[in-house]
Amino acid sequence: MSRYTRKTLLLEILMIAVGLAFAFPIYVLVNLSVRRAGDTSSPIAPTTSPTLANYADAWNAAGLAGALGNSIAVTAISLVVIILVSSLAAYPLARATARWSRWAFLLFALGLLLPAQLALIPLYQSVRDLGLLGTVWSLVLFYCGLQVPFSVFLYAGFLRAIPAQYEEAAAIDGCGPVRTFFSVVFPLLRPVTGTVAILNAIFIWNDFLTPLLYLSGSPQQTIPVAVFQFVGQYVADWQLVFAGLVISVVPILLVYFLMQKRIIQGFAGGLKG
Amino acid sequence: MKRLTLGASCVLVAGVALAGCSSTVTPPGSTGASSGSTIRLSAVASDKEAIEGTIAAFEKANPGVKVQATFADVDPYQSTLRTQLSSGTAPDVFFAWPGNGNAGAVEVLAPGGYMEDLSNRPWAAKIPEGLKQVTQVDGKTWITPTTFTGIGVIYNKKTLADVGGEVPTTWTGVLELCDAAKAKGKVAFALGNQTPWVTQLVDYALVATTVYANSPNFDADMAAGKATFAGSGWKTAMEKYLEMNKRGCFSKDPLGTSFESAVAQVGKGEAVGVVQVTAVATQIKEASPAGAELAMFALPATDNPDETRMPGAAGGAYAVNAKSPNKELALKFVDFLAEPANMNAYATVANAAPAIPNDSFTPDAAFQTLIDHQQAGKTATFMDQLWPNPKVQQVHLTGVQDLFSGKATPDEVLAEMDETYKSG
Amino acid sequence: MADTYEATAAPPATGTSTEAAPRARARRSRGRAPWWFMIPALILYAYVVLIPSVRGAGYAFTDWSGLGDAMSFVGLENFRKILDDSAATDALVQTVLITLAITIVQNLIGLLLALGVHTQIKSRNFLRVLLFAPAVMTPVVTAYLWRYMYAPDGAINGLFEAVGLGGLAQNWLGDPDIALWSVAAIVIWQFAGYSMVIFLAGLQGVPRELHEAAGVDGAGAFQRFWHITRPMLAPAITINLMLSLIGGFKIFDQVYVTTGGGPGHSTETLSTLIYKNAFQFDEYAYSTAIAVVLAVIVAAVSAVQYRGLQQQKGAA
């Protein structure tokens, strides 16, 4: 292991400076969210008498409690499905050498390119015909299908970089393909799974137009829909709006924070052999 | 072995979830369709507070009835509403704009057969003459207009006094106010031209006078091909708009200023007022120190005060979905909304006058000027409500931004508007 | 979600017997990775994306307004119209410009950040979270935030003035010559951390011993990066470039919330134009035609890029 040298210290200082620069807009966001109404000092000056009242107001005004539950349910269920079906699909795509696997990979890649606008109306009508409008299941179905290409793409990319020797060993030990996948391949994919999970979670958590359309007219809401309804209403009251925005971001940031060590640590061990 | 059990349980969990992904599972407790005593309603977020008041009153007057409302900002509202209408899943009652020239306007939506004919409702005959044109298509009434709003200068009385200015009644007076505000390090009018829909308001306020004072039949002439934007008072209005900018009447860098910033500038007293629709007064009040006194005046465009007109038009309106499974209740709701007491309550929250005038309404003194103009017949309807397609307005909005960045001249913008007007 | 992760985070198999490899190679054709593993993913993908997209693309050959039953077949008329529409051609040029800016700058910054935090510095865990934080926010949220910061009297100009650089203050979103780049900067700020995370995942695959050995040999930092790190990062680079290219071409939220395509049409992109035509101009069919063109362009660019990377990988 490398030592902490003077050069490392220089790097440390540099990186912290860069981090501060990145954090500046977030500072403005949080700084304004704790400000009292009528405080008109500059947005960059630290708030002198911070208050959490905006958070309480935002929480109540936007009805965030129920929306939070829906957002968590939709995100969690979708993630489980996406991770399972995408890692399964990526396995033959990354390993098989036949011509069809290349074409199949391109077919999935196509899903990344298609503008969402093309599918909008026909898909909405399919979901209507399934009778799922107004329920969170419509969203789960939507995200599962929509995020599969992206996730397959990530899984296949990283799977190709992993040597096949582990699976080969498992196959020799008499494991069938299903057992080989779940006992050998899937654990090897752990770091990528972390990446797939967090990147998909961000997208699903934050999506706005889909829940607005699919849950419209039902009592169900997700966090962004609740928050933005509220942005439209209190448009000049930035303190309140920013407090609502901070609330909507915190859960996902927390998940990333808890997961990031696993994502980063688990990987090296898996690849050293 | 432990590994395998973990794997297996994961498959199990995912399997259950996958079943959720398929169509066979019926989720408990929630359905998209309306049941007998529930109607669905959707509206733009700006009218949320006003319609929520109506909903509460309606639910109270009809025990057991529930109104499930959804709100969104204008753009997402239009896109979801249109998708729902074309898929037959729209709410029972929905917000729509009067007239034409907007993707959610009655003349755009009614011909598709999406709206229930409201001509026979008890209130339909009471719609004032001036609003008939924008609530009717093919001689039938399709929407319940709720508010009558106007465009003028909403200002803070104290700021006006601070700069030593007075309410202008002539164009010269407007420019003097600009100079007076500038001398005190403020601006006369906050202007948030970064937000596209804001760009049109000053033009409308001026055009009401420069076009309609002398040619009240301008819209009919346009429709008949007898008039053009370029050859009308529109050009004068745009030139005056630019003159005001040059004179320093507006916020610094209007193109970099958003609607919200403009509102904040009036609130903080950095600007005397803002050319806006009456409803925005609510937001200005929220942004101002407690006790601020707001008022409104019409923006003059000539030196003859008698010529001054104010844009005034039906604001929001509600339609009943023609395919609603619960039409009776939906109709009951719009009838309820049209009752004087309820419409007055709605109008009061929305900072406007009721669309169907009645004696029991007492306007906020600050907005008396709009009512006065209406009663004197000195209003001109919002220009885009009579344009033949939504694109003319878009050309106007981007055109004003091009004017302010020096990328186009009034002649060029008006020529493009004429071309777009004729195309559809 | 944490539970899910727990369940899948079984320790990786270790202790591979190296002598098994030759025998395994002989059994490779035995269907170790059966094709039917793809079925669930394919079904979901086809139902939600492929089939509706193909059906949706059908509108491009009609004159449907987006409402009503009136619709007739017009052949390639909508595509011909695109060529005459200066708003569309301008939007195409601006989309390409902003995509290039985002792809290059975002990945470069993302890579530098990844290399910076993939070291012994004590703040690395903290920075990994901090730098990624913008990517976690909804683009709509960040766009609102930046619109506020970019205002003439907003935080950015305020910051410049506070440090005595008031001359650098700009009308960030109101000046048609710089508005496009101001929007690009929002995207770069937001997603540089996203690129960083993908690069970091790739960097984990570079054994530290290799680096250290090279260090002993006296290889310079850049050479070490070029000869050891870069080849190992190939999958991460492919993924990052692909994602930012596609994201750039489809950019919508950040533009729509900050400038709405203005001033004038100076920040109009293909996606904002598609949206406006579909839901504001009553020209649904035409908007679909633009969407088809966008899909074709993105496909072509991605194909060229993918091929280029494959060849490079072969050469490395």
Q: Which chain B residues are closer than 8 Å to C263 by Cβ?
A: 193-194, 255, 398, 401-402, 404-405, 407
* Among A residues 137-166, those touching chain C with beta carbons less than 8 Å apart: 141-142, 144-146, 148-149, 152-154, 157-158, 160-161, 164-166
CB distance from B73 to chain C under 8 Å?
no
Which of B17, B23, B73 faces A232 most closely, judged by CB atoms?
Answer: B73
CB distance from B267 to chain C under 8 Å?
no
Q: Which chain C residues are closer than 8 Å to A272 by Cβ?
A: 207
Closest-CA residue to B262 (of C184, C36, C174, C113): C174
CATH of segment(s) B151-313+379-422: 3.40.190.10
pLDDT value at position B274? 96
Contact A236 B260 (CB under 8 A): yes
**Which pairing describes strands B147-156 and B144-145: parallel, antiparallel, or unpaired?**
unpaired
Which of C172, C264, C275 faces B401 most closely, judged by CB atoms?
Answer: C264
pLDDT digits (tens, 9 = 90+) for A147-189: 999 999 888 877 887 788 877 887 778 778 888 888 888 888 8
Mean pLDDT of B308-325: 93
Closest-CA residue to B278 (of B194, B174, B382): B382
Q: Determine what percent of chain C falls in helix, strand and coil, rounding each to the nearest 5.
A: 75, 0, 25
| Residue C183, both tokens | 């929007």
pLDDT value at position B2? 38
Nearest CA in chain C to A17: C127
Task: Point out the least confidently predicted range of B53-62, C180-189, C213-222.
Answer: C213-222
Cα dist from A214 to A120, B70, C273, whole Å: 11, 12, 23
pLDDT value at position C313? 58
Contact A183 B7 (CB under 8 A): yes
Q: How far is B83 from chain A (nearest CA, A)?
A: 7
Binding partners of B (≥3 Cβ pairs within 8 A): A, C
Q: What is the pLDDT along chain A (273 residues), one digit of tens a residue?
A: 457 788 889 899 999 999 999 999 989 888 888 888 766 677 777 888 788 888 888 888 777 888 888 999 999 999 999 999 999 999 998 887 777 888 888 899 888 888 888 888 899 999 999 999 889 999 999 999 999 999 998 888 778 877 888 778 877 787 788 888 888 888 888 878 887 888 899 889 988 878 888 987 777 888 888 877 766 666 556 778 788 888 888 888 888 778 766 655 433 333 322
Cα dist from B264 to A38, A54, B178, B288, B341, whole Å: 10, 18, 19, 8, 33
* Among B residues 82-111, those touching chain A with beta carbons less than 8 Å apart: 83-84, 86-89, 91
pLDDT value at position C238? 82
Q: B118: exposed, middle or buried (C-beta count within 10 Å: 0-12, 13-18, 19+)?
A: buried
Q: C-alpha B286: how far from its chain's center?
A: 19
Cβ-proximal residues to B383 (8 Å cutoff; 6+ apart), any chain: B200, B204, B207, B311
Q: Which chain B residues are closer than 8 Å to C176 by Cβ?
A: 255, 405, 407
CB distance from A141 to chain B under 8 Å?
yes
Q: How far is A213 from chain C (nearest CA, A)?
A: 14
pLDDT digits (tens, 9 = 90+) for B225-266: 999 999 999 999 999 999 999 999 999 999 999 888 898 899
Task: Point out the least confidently predicted range of A200-209, B154-163, B195-204.
Answer: A200-209
Q: Report whether A221 contacts A160 (CB < 8 A).
A: no
CA distance C169 to C154: 10
The CATH class of the A54-272 domain is: mainly alpha
Residue B21 has pLDDT above 60, yes or no: no
Contact C42 A228 (CB under 8 A): no
| Residue A267, both tokens | 């990987």
pLDDT value at position B142? 95
CA distance B233 to A249: 50
Which of A93, A110, A273 faces C16 most closely, judged by CB atoms?
Answer: A273
Q: Which chain B residues are closer than 8 Å to C8 by Cβ?
A: 6, 10
Nearest CA in chain C to B408: C264
Domain map of chain A by residue range? 6-51, 54-272
CA distance B282 to B286: 6
CA distance B132 to B99: 9
Measured in degrees and rounded to the nearest 5, phi and psi for residue B318 equal: -125, 140
Mutation to test the B interface, candidates C144, C280, C286, most B Cβ within 10 Å = C280
Cβ-proximal residues to B202 (8 Å cutoff; 6+ apart), any chain: B189, B191, B241, B244, B275, B299
pLDDT digits (tens, 9 = 90+) for B370-419: 888 988 889 999 999 889 888 899 899 999 999 999 999 999 999 999 99
Q: How far is C270 from chain B (nearest CA, A)?
A: 16
Q: B283: exposed, middle or buried (C-beta count within 10 Å: 0-12, 13-18, 19+)?
A: buried
Mean pLDDT of B73-99: 90
Contact C69 B3 (CB under 8 A): no
CA distance B190 to B284: 12
Binding partners of C (≥3 Cβ pairs within 8 A): A, B
pLDDT value at position B400? 96
Cβ-proximal residues to C131 (8 Å cutoff; 6+ apart), any chain: A18, A19, A22, C113, C117, C192, C193, C196
**Helix pair B199-210, B233-247: axis angle to 10 deg:** 130
Contact A236 B267 (CB under 8 A): yes
Q: A179: exposed, middle or buried (C-beta count within 10 Å: 0-12, 13-18, 19+)?
A: middle
| Residue B208, both tokens | 């009401």
Which of C173, C266, C279 faces B256 most closely, judged by CB atoms?
Answer: C173
Contact A233 B83 (CB under 8 A): no
Q: Which chain A residues are closer than 8 Å to B10 by Cβ?
A: 84, 182
**For chain A, what percent of residues have pLDDT higher than 90?**
22
CATH architecture under which domain B38-146+315-356 falls = 3-Layer(aba) Sandwich (3.40)
CA distance A266 to C200: 12
Residue C141 has pLDDT above 90, yes or no: no
| Residue B35, both tokens | 């049941």
pLDDT digits (tens, 9 = 90+) for B28-67: 333 334 456 899 999 988 888 899 999 999 999 999 999 9
Q: Report whether B116 contacts B329 (CB < 8 A).
A: no
CA distance B391 to B216: 24
Q: How far is C184 from chain B (nearest CA, A)?
A: 16
CB distance from B114 to chain C under 8 Å?
yes
pLDDT value at position A80? 96
Contact C132 A256 (CB under 8 A): yes
Domain(s) labelled CATH 3.40.190.10 in chain B stretch across 38-146+315-356, 151-313+379-422
Residue B422 has pLDDT above 80, yes or no: yes
**Helix pair C234-249, C179-203: axis angle to 10 deg:** 150
CA distance A220 to A65: 11
Mutation to test the B interface, candidates A35, A75, A81, A136, most B Cβ within 10 Å = A81
In chain B, what is the straight-line distance between the N-terminal and C-terminal CA atoms, in Å? 72
pLDDT digits (tens, 9 = 90+) for B341-366: 999 999 988 888 899 988 888 887 77
H or E stretch at B317? strand B317-320
pLDDT value at position A84? 95
pLDDT digits (tens, 9 = 90+) for A181-225: 888 888 888 878 887 888 899 889 988 878 888 987 777 888 888
CB distance from C173 to chain B under 8 Å?
yes
CB distance from C175 to chain B under 8 Å?
yes
Q: Report whether B358 contacts B344 (CB < 8 A).
A: yes
Q: What is the 3-state secondary structure (H, E, C) of A227-251?
A: HHHHHHHCCCCHHHHHHHHHHHHHH
* DSSP designation for B385: G
CATH match of C85-315 with 1.20.140.10: no
Q: Which chain A residues are closer than 8 Å to C10 by Cβ?
A: 183, 186-187, 190
* Among A residues 50-89, those touching chain C with beta carbons less than 8 Å apart: 75-76, 79-81, 83-86, 88-89
Mutation to test the B interface, candidates C49, C90, C146, C171, most B Cβ within 10 Å = C171
Q: Which chain B residues are closer than 8 Å to C266 by Cβ?
A: 405
Binding partners of A (≥3 Cβ pairs within 8 A): B, C
Q: C-alpha C68: how far from its chain's center?
A: 36
Q: How far is A233 from chain B (nearest CA, A)?
A: 5
CB distance from B21 to chain C under 8 Å?
yes
Q: Using pLDDT thresholds of 50, 70 and 90, give the confidence band for residue C218.
A: low
Contact A216 B80 (CB under 8 A): yes
Mean pLDDT of chain B: 87
CA distance B204 to A197: 51
Q: How far is B397 from chain C (nearest CA, A)?
A: 8
Q: Which chain C residues are closer than 8 Å to B85 by Cβ?
A: 67
**For chain B, what percent of residues have pLDDT higher than 90?**
62
Q: How far is B147 from chain C (nearest CA, A)?
A: 23
Output Rg (C-alpha) for chain A, integer angstroms. Answer: 23
